[in-house]
Every structure is written in structure tokens, then in C-alpha cells.
Structure 1
Amino acid sequence: MLKFTRLSLFFILFAMTAQAESNPQIRVRTDYSRLRTVCIRLDGGDSYDPSLPRHYSLALVYDDLLENYETAEAHYQETLRVNPNQSEAHCDLATLYHLYEPDYERARLHYLQAIRLDPHNVLAHQNLAVLFDEYFHDQENAWRHYQKALELQPDNSVIQCNVANYYHFGVENYALARVYYERALRLEPNLTAASHNLALLLERQGDYTAARTHYETALIHDPNSAESHRNLAILLDERLQDYDAAYSHFQMGLELTSDPSVLHFDLAQLLERQGEDYEAARDHYQKALELDPDNTFFRRYYALFLKNHTQDYEASKRNLQQTAVDDPTNAAVQYHLANLLDQQFDDPLGAERHYLQLLEANPAHIETHLSLALLLTRRREYEQAEFHYRQAINYAPNDVRFHVGLADVLIKSGRDYREAESHLLKAVELDPKNEQTTHLLADLYHFHLHDHKSARQYYEQTLKLNPDSFAAHHSLSVELISPFKEYEKAADHLSKAIKLDPNSFSAHFSMGILQANALHGYEIARIHLKKAAALRPDHERTRMELANLYADYFRDYPAARRHYERVLEINPENAKAHYSLGMIQIEAGEEEAGKRHLEKARRLSPDLFIRKY
């Protein structure tokens, strides 16, 4: 989502009749009806109000009613030429520069002149404080003028609200901000900006229910506030998960806002997260971009939407490329474009180019180091992958991913198993519950360091973290068979592995070998070896073990013969298969055929062990 909207307040166009009457030195615009009366008198030729000079009256009309600020400025200037010491005119001209024709330095000078001429001009103190706070970020001077405004009118709700804004947005003292918002609302319960900004404060503090209440209060008093509808919708969407209500408020905001592109974008994001109507989400993204085609933020999220939910990778690439042209320093765009080229277009060189461009601009972008290291690892460019993992570790030494990735590269390259061990132990220290790390460490001990005790320890730790890890059950069974010779436990882990993956060739094969050779579970062995043979009909050793099982334990020589023959179809040079098949044929009275196989066995392996049947 885009940033939240805050509401700022100025004295202009607020009803402050009571304060004006209590201090006749302060001229305050009360409401439209008074200004409209002035306008009718001027245009209709009626007598002027002697309390308002002609040019000053015209300035107010053009400023407030007609919104013709250039003409209003000319009349304010003429007023000050005739009477340069009129504090109110300086203040009104400053407000025009402040709000409508932004020239903040001229606004500051006229506010200060208004105050020099009339130190009790509360409007000038108030608006100058806002100017210092919001535009010059000069909190010291802002607070000095807020204090003076409070001294002059301590019970003015608008001043209380703007002081709250100062504490909220300027110095981020949320406790005091809340105090002043609540004072403002006690003085004027229907002050929309106070309710709105207090809601935003409560949302920042995590009090989402109270925030919702104050947004709804703001909308009771100003149902046409697009900002309040939008902020409430964001709260309902992102914090309270009330998506229907959020959608409703986004739609109302869309009807009211002067910037519909933002609301279209918000609706697109909401619909994307809900995942129920991607077509409507796409429509809102497109409308947002039609209204604001140069908005790289909108275009980037639209491109990611296309990639993730429509699989329109070409359109996603076009939008990311356009965004990269419009905003070449945007790291996120370069990163997502590189990812897209790598994952969907099989363009690792293009991806690498964008990753390197990003790193040239921002060497500390750790996610890019990670993605580039993964890409280089897939290409077996281990030295470069190692470099990027080490760079990432320099910037983020406690990120488990980089230690695991570097260890993986060191293992795959075979460069330094002991350093790989140190990085994996560091990763386990940082995150003891990461099963990927414990499993990789167990594999390192099992396959490369031959530390069987440690391998067993970390396989068992992996299974505590994830009892459904097929690979950990399978690998632990291998450790238990050799060197620990705990065959029953090994069979138990293989059984669990087979339940997790009933079509695992390696698990069925291992169970068959274990049952036949160590546990003497010949029937169980036959079941698993037959399953392994069905899964991989051309696996030579499975056929050989199955043939031996039929011949040695079941005395089912026809079945054994079929499997020996299959072995020789797979590998005509298997001496043991020739020998065993020859012996079966001789026993069956097929002496010529049997002798041919025995002779072949002798040629292939003169020292072949003579088996007896």
C-alpha cells in the first residue's frame, strides 16, 4: 500500500466565532455565508462594509469563493501597498502562498511580518507553526509559535489538533500527541481531522479496534472524506482482515477522491490478496496506470501481479523493463527483472547483468547477492557464488541463509569441508530449528567427513524438527545400518520413509537389501525388491538381488532365471549373472546353454566365486 494520508488543519474556513468575539483584535473567517454576503454587495453595487477596505474585500472573495488565487494575490498586494501595516492582510497573503500557490519562503516572511505588526495574531502564529513543522522541518521554531497560539487561545480545538499533529508527525512523541488529540475532541467532538489523525496514531500503536472507531467517527462528521475512507479501508484490509468492508470503503473513496489512480491501485492490491477475482484486480491495475502512466510504483506491482497470478511473463517483463528505463536507480525493479529473466526466460546472462547493475549502484543489497549466488551455483560457477555469499555475510553476518548457502557451495565444489562445517554450525547456532541446516550438516558428516556419530546426531535432530522428512528418515537408516548395525531401527526409519513416499525406488531397494541380508525377512525383502523393480525396470542391481533371493531362499529357479536373463539384457557383461544362470540351466538339463554362460563368466571374471546350489 501507499503511505497513509494525514489531515492538516489551518484556521481558514473553520468556524471560530466565539474566539473572535472574545478577542476583537483577531479577524477570523467564520463561514461561507459571511463571505458570500460581501461578494453580493460588491457585484450588486450595494454599499461596502466600512470595516473591510475594497481591495481587501475583493482579495477575500477571489481567494475563498472564486478560488482565483492570482487575482486574489494582486488585491492582497494592493491592500498592502495602501496599508503596509495591516497584519491580517499579511497573514492572508501568507496563507495563500502557503496553501494554494506554494511559495513557502514568501509565506514565512508574510507570517512573520503579520506577527511583528500584531504579536497577538493567533492565525499567523498557528499557520507559521504548521509551515515550520511540515515544510521547513524546523521543530524548534514550530513549537515556539504553537506555544504562543496556545497561550492566546488555549481552548481552541484546531490549535490543539495541530499541536497534536506536531507531536505525532514532527517529533513522534505519540503519548503527547494522543493527549492533544483527545483535548481537541473534548473541545469539538466533530473535528474530523482530530478523529482521523488520532485513528492513524492508534493504528501505529497497534490498537486497531480503537483506530477503526475513530476513523468511523471521522466519517460520521465528514462522510465525503476520501482520505478517511481510504485509511479505514487499509486498516480493515491489512490489520483486521475484514475484506468486504475494506472493499466497500475503497469503492467509496474512489467515488470521492481527486486522485482515483491511488484508489484503483489499492483495490487491485486488495483483490490480488484475496485471490478470488484476478481479472478485476488486473482491471484496477490497468486503470491506475492509465491515470498515472509514469508511476513506477504502480507499474512494478502490476508487473509482479502479472508474473505471479496470470503467468503472462512477457507482459510482466515489458512492464519491468519500462519501469527500469523510467527509474534506473530502483533496486527493487532491477531485482525483480533479474529474477524473472532467470526463472521464466532461461536467460541467466541477462539476469546476471541486471543483478550486477543493481550491485554496482548498491553493493549492500544482500538479496541480490543471494539471488546471484544461487544463479551462479546452478551454473557451477562456484568461485563467483562463493564471493557473493561472502559479501552477503559481510553485510549481514547473522543471516542463516548466507552461511548455509556458502557451506553448500564449499561442499559442492569440494574446496573446504571443514569451513563448510563451521558455517553450518554457525547457522545452527543462529537458528537451531532450521531443518535445512541440520540436514545439510548431517549429510556433510555422512558423505564427506565420515563422522558417523555427528551425522546420526543431526539426522535425529532434523527428525525432531520435522518428523515427516523423507530424506532424513532414509539417510538415518543408512547410518544405522553401517556402522551402527542397528538394523531394526534402520528398518523402522525405512518404513516411515516409504509411508511418506510410497513410490521411492531407493527406499524400497534399501528395505529389500536390509531385510534379505540382515533381518532375514525374505518375504518382506521380495515385496520391496519387486516394487523397486517395477519402479525402475532397468535397474541392474535390483534385478540381480531379486534373482539371488528367488534362487537362494525361495528355490524358485524359474523366477530366478527370468531375473538373471533380465540382468543380462541390461548388462551382457555381468559375470555373476552369467554364472548363476548357467548353473540353473545345467540343473535344469540345459547343459549346452549352461556351459556357454559359465564359459562367458570365466572369461569376464576368472576369479569368480563358485556358488553352490
Structure 2
Amino acid sequence: MTTSVIPYNQYEAQNAYQRLRTCLSRESAEAIAEIKTFLKMFPDVPLAHNDLGVLYHQSGNDLLALAHYEKANRLQPNNPTVIKNLAEFYFVVLGWTDDAIEMLTELLNAWPNDFEILTALGNISETVGQPEEARAFYRKANQLEPGNAEVREILARLDGPVSAAEYRQPALLPQQDEELAPLQQLLAQNPASALAHNNLGIVYSRRGEYDQARFHHEQAVKCEPANLMYRKNLADLYYTACGMIDEAVEIYTQLIKEYPNDVEVLTALAIFSKEAKLPEQSRIFINKVLALQPWNTEARTFLSGV
């Protein structure tokens, strides 16, 4: 006697699996058996293969987990849940970091406010030694779920000097009055603290006190002249608030020699070039950004306007 799959349409199959899903056993082995039985009748339901991949991974059978994750992705390649699970498996189990990043960044373009994608990219960035990128992803995640204690703990661990990127996004900074007093106290204890000078410069900039901001940013660079972040922050202040365009350009042209693949430096030079009516030069810089970060939607938008 031979058996064959009962004809069905995909809508019926999806509904049937959703009903099964609500009453699956909490025991992994039993749940696996229940889903496998379902797939004998309805073999092309992506979510069933995804869930089977999760259960196999939890039970330690990574080979079968990968097979079902891949099958789910082939059946429904645009499903964010499936892609997130497969990318996490690539990164955690197989060590395929580049593949995981590529999948998640493409997904982030379509779902820019997805908390799980942002935290996954934050985790990968931190693991591969890119703390600034990790902090950017986690800060966006924190904006979406400010009550998430785990994200707050990660940000506290990653926290350090305020970066040039955060300088251009003041809404992400701590409240001015809350930060000013402890920074001044830190500076009183150690007048050569570049960190205190840098962050005081940020706070004074937000208050519109640009003379004070300039003093502290210059002091930060004086205390640590090789620090990339402090030099970028000073150049940004010169350009945006002090009208010292030549000084800002001089800093950034020196930085591009030292850090030819720094996205913030390249972006700043693209902006400077555009405003100086040098569109070809601007496109060169922003295209380099896109070569380094093909998922960078802000860079693509900028390029379309050059």
C-alpha cells in the first residue's frame, strides 16, 4: 500500500498548523513528533519547519535543526522570524559571522524598528569587537523598549565616551542637568581627564554654550591628541557651531589619512564636499561608505541628493 500527501492549499495548511501550535506538548521530544506527523500531511508549511528547527536545536541535534531552518527559509524567504532564527544559528552554532550579518542587515532595511534584529546585530557587533556599532544598535533597541533591563545592562557595560555619532543625535544623550554635575566633579578630581572634557563639551553644546563646548573639546584633544573620537567631536563642533570650516576640514583630512575606512570620517567629508559644491568628490566619499556598509540607508539617501 502506498501513501501520498493529501492535496491542500497553503492557507488551509497554515491555519491547521496554527491550531496545532496552540496545543503542542511542552516536552521537546513529543512536540517534535507532533510536528513531524503534521509535516507528513502538510510538508510545505514554513513555520512548522522553523519551529522544528528550534526544537531540534534545543535538543542538541544541530544537523537536523539546520536542515529545517534552511527548508523554512526556502519556502518563505522573506519571513523575518525564519531569517532571524537562521542567522542566529549561523552565528552561534556555525560561526558564519559574515552570512549572519548580511542576512540581518538586509532584514533591518525592511524592518528598521525590529527589536530582535537590532539586539541580534548588537550582540554580533560586540562579539566581533565593534563596540561603537554594538552601542548604536542597542541604543536604538533601548528607544523601542526603554523598560528592557537586559538592554540597559548591556548599554551600561558598553558605555564610555560619547561618540561623534551620538553628538549628531543629541536625543540619545543623558539629560543635561543630570550629567553636568558628576562630570564637573570628575574634572575637579582630575583636570586632565579627556573623557570628562569631551562629555562636558557635548553637554555645553546641547545648551548652546558653544564657547564652553569649544574649550572642553579642545582640552579633550589636548589631553589625548591621538583619540579618534575626541578629534571628530572637535571637528564637528568647529564645523556646525563655530564657523571654523577650514579647521574642521583640516582635522578630517588628517583623520582620513590615518583611518581610511572610518565611516563617520568619510560621511563628514562627503557632507563637506557637497556643501563646498564638489559633487564628484562627495560621491567618492559616500560611495566608499556604501562599499563598507551596503545596508546604510542614510548614505543611500544622501547619495541620491548629490
TM-score by length of 1: 0.24
Q: Larger relative CO (CA 8 A, sep 6+): 1 or 2?
A: 2
TM-score by length of 2: 0.46
